[in-house]
Amino acid sequence: MRITIDPKEVDTATFHRNLLASVGPRPIAFASTMDKEGNVNLSPFSFFNAFSANPPILIFSPARRVRNNTIKHTLENVREIPEVVIGVVDYSIVEQMSLASTEFDKGVNEFAKAGFTEEKAIYVKPPLIGEALVQFECKVKEVIALGDEGGAGNLIICEVLLMHAKKTILDKNGIVDSVKLDLVGRMGGNWYVRANRDAMFEVPKPAPDASSIGIDALPEEIRKSGVLTGNNLARLGSVTHMPTLIELEEIETYQVKGNPHELASFLLDDGKIMEAWKVLLTTFEK
C-alpha cells in the first residue's frame, strides 16, 4: 500500500515538507556572496550538488520562500556580482551554519552573527569562510528561474575557479578523505545526518564495461531465495560469469549448518562474494 500525492492538489507547504523529508540526505552549499555596495552574505542551501568535473560545475538553488514568495539575499547578490564562494559543512560548524540561516535583514553580516572568519579570496570578491574545510571560488555562469511562485527554485550555475582544502582532511595521496571530512547532510525538518565512519559503508563496484551477469542470470533457486536480500543478489550478480566449482576450489570452504542461504547472506554482507558463491554452488551440487 502507498499514498499518492499530486502536487497540483495539495498546498505547496505540504508538498514541500514531503519532498524534503524524502529526498536526502542533501549536501549543503554554504554560500558566501557580496552585493554591489560591498555587503557580504553567508547562507546555507541544501538544493545543491556537483554536476560536472570538466568544466567543474556546482549548482545550488535558493528557492523562493513558500510562505510569502520573496527571494533570498543570496540570489539578489549573485545577480549584482556574479561570484560566489561555496563551502562545505562539516559537523564541527553545523550549529554555526544553522545560525547563519536566520533571515537577518539585508546588509547584516552573517559571518559576524554566526562567528565565522572572513578571509580574502584569490579570484572572487566574496570572502572565503575561514572555518570551512573545503570551499570553492566560483564565477556564476547562469541563473535559471524555475518559476515565479513560492517554492520555485533558482538554479545558480557556478564554474569552479579554485578549490581550497585544509591539509588536515587529506589522505596520504593528497586527496580529500571523506572520513576525515565528517560532512553533514540535510534531511527533513530540523533533521541532519552525519557522514562519519559509523554511518559510512563501502559498496564494491560491479564489473566494468557492462560485463556483470546481473540478477536475471542467477539460478532460480538463488533468485527466488526467501533469505537472500536484493543487496545480496546484486553482489552475486556483479561477477562477470557464473563461477565454476573448479574456479572456486581455492576459495575457503565453510561448514554449512542449517540453511546455506543464511551463511551466504552473512558472507555477502561481509564482502566475501566468491565464498558465498562456493557455499551456494556446492550446496546445489550436493
List 138's β-bridge partners, or say none.
84, 160
Q: Give me the phi and psi of 111, to 5 degrees please.
A: -55, -50
**Which domain CATH number covers 79?**
2.30.110.10
- Whether residue 208 lies inside any domain: the answer is no
Residues near 49 by beta carbon (within 8 Å), at least 6 away in sequence: 27, 58, 59
pLDDT, position 161: 98
Determine the structural domain holding residue 237 and report its residue range.
Answer: 215-285
Q: Is omega for the bond preceding 56 within 30 degrees of 0, making it cis?
A: no
pLDDT, position 286: 53
Residues 184 and 45 in one domain: yes
Sign of CA dihedral 267, 269, 273, 279: positive
Residues 156 and 274 in one domain: no
- Whether residue 258 lies inside any domain: the answer is yes
Q: What is the DSSP string of 77-137?
A: HHHHS-EEEEE--BGGGHHHHHHHTS-PPTT--HHHHHTPPEE--SSSSSPEETT-SEEEE
Rounded Cα–Cα distance for residues 256 and 79 (Å): 66
Global pTM? 0.86
Q: What is the pLDDT along the chain (286 residues), one digit of tens a residue?
A: 999 999 999 999 999 999 989 998 999 999 999 999 999 999 999 999 999 999 999 999 998 888 898 888 999 999 999 999 999 999 999 999 999 999 899 999 999 999 999 999 999 999 999 999 999 999 999 999 999 988 899 999 999 999 999 999 999 999 999 999 999 999 999 999 999 888 888 887 887 777 899 999 999 999 999 999 999 999 999 999 989 888 888 888 888 888 899 999 999 999 899 999 999 988 765 5
Rounded Cα–Cα distance for residues 272 and 264 (Å): 9
- Whether residue 7 lies inside any domain: the answer is no
User: Do 184 and 24 form a contact (C-beta atoms < 8 A)?
Assistant: no
- Whether residue 206 lies inside any domain: the answer is no
Residues 147 and 229 in one domain: no
Q: DSSP letter at 215?
A: G
Asked which of 139, 163, 194 is the last residue of a domain, the reply is 194
Cα–chain center distance at 47: 11
Q: What is the largest CA-CA distance in the chain?
A: 80
Residue type, 62: P
Rounded Cα–Cα distance for residues 212 and 236 (Å): 9
pLDDT, position 284: 63
Rounded Cα–Cα distance for residues 44 and 88 (Å): 9
Residues 169 and 49 in one domain: yes
User: Do 59 and 49 form a contact (C-beta atoms < 8 A)?
Assistant: yes
Residues 70 and 188 in one domain: yes
- Whether residue 201 lies inside any domain: the answer is no
Q: What is the number of domains present in the chain?
A: 2
- Whether residue 207 lies inside any domain: the answer is no
Asked which of 129, 159, 194 is the last residue of a domain, the reply is 194
